[in-house]
């Protein structure tokens, strides 16, 4: 699904547009001049995502890198098979890399989520190599477009947002840091932190961007920063933004 000249939506489940596995987060393709990059991998099986890419007139063989916003299963469950299929390099936050390499279901909260039936009990997340560990402020070129990593812990440890400078606008690919209306997702797991989430929201106020592309539900192609401002304002009032799934 072409959103702009720079970005395509190629995956998403029940919290999106149901164009791939029902448990998938939004999966985006960044289209540079001579290179494609994928942001996140979805939950289970790369087949539908790859067919969506082809149906959009793009060549999956041009995907050289997969950027991972964080290590929850709806974002990385399909990472290992997708990496094998594409022969792509995986780039993830340095704080999350070892967990992705080890397939640690306890650290990621997968085992906890399976216990109460959020994820299928028979699902097994396959460990995956991470070739590049990104840190705050790293810059990457994707076919002439510039991508900057922004460390935004809070939703979980090792969570990163990505700032993309495109052809006619700038995008914040926000992962699970912030959603439409300033909503957040804070969970009862060991590495989810209200304080870190608040600090990350405030940090994002320092960046200018037009479009907000979160990992679930609606997105904004213009005036996207207003959603970050709404979330930051809620935290500044000593309260909490709306919890997206609360």
Q: Is 36 helix (H, G, I), strand (E, B) or coil?
A: strand
Looking at residue 8, its pLDDT comes to: 98
Looking at residue 137, its pLDDT comes to: 98
Q: Which residues pair with 139 in a beta bridge?
A: 148
- Secondary structure E strands in 34-122: 36-39, 63-67, 89-93
Asked whether the beta carbons of 156 and 70 are under 8 A apart, the reply is yes
Regions in the chain scoring below 50 on pLDDT: none
Looking at residue 238, its pLDDT comes to: 67
Nearest to 40 by CA among 13, 2, 58, 59: 13
Phi-psi region of 48 (alpha: psi -120 to 50; beta: other; left: phi over 0): alpha
- Secondary structure E strands in the chain: 7-11, 27-31, 36-39, 63-67, 89-93, 132-134, 139-142, 145-151, 160-165, 170-175, 211-214
Q: Which residues pair with 145 in a beta bridge?
A: 142
The total number of residues shown for the chain amounts to 246
Pairing of the two strands 36-39 and 63-67: parallel
Instruction: Give percent helix, percent strand, percent coil of the chain, each to the nearest 5.
Output: 25, 25, 50
Could you tell me the pTM of the whole model? Answer: 0.96
Nearest to 85 by CA among 56, 50, 53: 50
Residue 172 structure tokens: 């914040």
Asked whether the beta carbons of 193 and 185 are under 8 A apart, the reply is no
Cα 94 to Cα 70, 138, 238, distances in angstroms: 10, 11, 31
End-to-end CA distance of the chain: 29
- Per-residue pLDDT of 66-87, as tens digits, reads 999 999 999 999 999 999 999 9
Looking at residue 138, its pLDDT comes to: 98
Domains contained in the chain, CATH given: 7-236 (3.60.15.10)
């Amino acid at each position: 699904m072409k959103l702009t000249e720079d970005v395509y939506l190629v995956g998403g489940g029940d919290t999106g547009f149901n164009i791939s596995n029902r448990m998938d987060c939004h999966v985006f393709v960044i289209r540079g001049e001579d290179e494609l990059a994928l942001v996140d991998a979805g939950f289970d099986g790369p087949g539908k995502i790859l067919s969506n890419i082809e149906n959009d007139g793009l060549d999956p063989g041009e995907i050289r890198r997969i950027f991972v916003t964080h290590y929850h299963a709806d974002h990385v469950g399909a990472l290992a098979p997708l990496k094998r299929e594409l022969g792509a390099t995986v780039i993830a936050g340095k704080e999350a890399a070892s967990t992705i390499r080890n397939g640690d279901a306890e650290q990621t909260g997968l085992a906890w989520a399976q216990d109460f039936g959020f994820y299928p009990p028979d699902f097994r997340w396959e460990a995956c190599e991470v070739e590049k560990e990104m840190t705050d402020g790293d810059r990457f070129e994707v076919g002439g477009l510039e991508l900057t990593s922004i460390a935004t812990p809070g939703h979980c440890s090792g969570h990163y947002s990505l700032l993309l400078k495109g052809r006619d606008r700038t995008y914040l690919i926000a992962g699970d840091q912030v959603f439409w209306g300033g909503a957040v997702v804070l969970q009862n797991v060991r590495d989810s932190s209200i304080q870190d989430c608040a600090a990350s929201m405030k940090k994002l106020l320092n960046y200018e961007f037009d479009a907000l592309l979160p990992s679930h539900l609606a997105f904004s192609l213009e005036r996207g920063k207003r959603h970050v401002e709404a979330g930051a304002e809620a935290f500044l009032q000593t309260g909490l933004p709306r919890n997206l799934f609360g």
